[in-house]
Amino acid sequence: ETGVTQTPRHLVMGMTNKKSLKCEQHLGHNAMYWYKQSAKKPLELMFVYSLEERVENNSVPSRFSPECPNSSHLFLHLHTLQPEDSALYLCASSQYQGATGYTFGSGTRLTVV
CB of 47 to another protein, least distance (A): 11
Residues 34-53 touching another protein, rule: CB under 8 A, are: 42-43, 45, 48, 50
By CB under 8 A, name the one of 21, 87, 94, 112 that touches another protein. 94
Taking residues 57 to 86 in sequence order and writing x for each that binds another protein by CB under 8 A, - otherwise, the string is: ------------------------------
Q: For the purposes of burial, counting CB atoms within 10 Å of the CB of 61, is it exposed (0-12), middle (13-18) or buried (19 or more)? A: exposed
By CB under 8 A, name the one of 56, 61, 77, 111 that touches another protein. 56
CA distance 95 to 21: 22
Regarding 106 and contact with another protein (CB under 8 A), the answer is yes
Query: ∠ CA(49), CA(11), CA(54), 5° rounding?
Result: 10
CB of 27 to another protein, least distance (A): 12
CA distance 39 to 36: 10
Q: Judged by CB under 8 A, how many residues of this single chain contact another protein?
A: 29
CA distance 2 to 108: 15
Residues at the contact surface with another protein, assessed by CB under 8 A: 2, 4, 31, 33, 42-43, 45, 48, 50, 55-56, 88, 90-92, 94-99, 101-107, 109
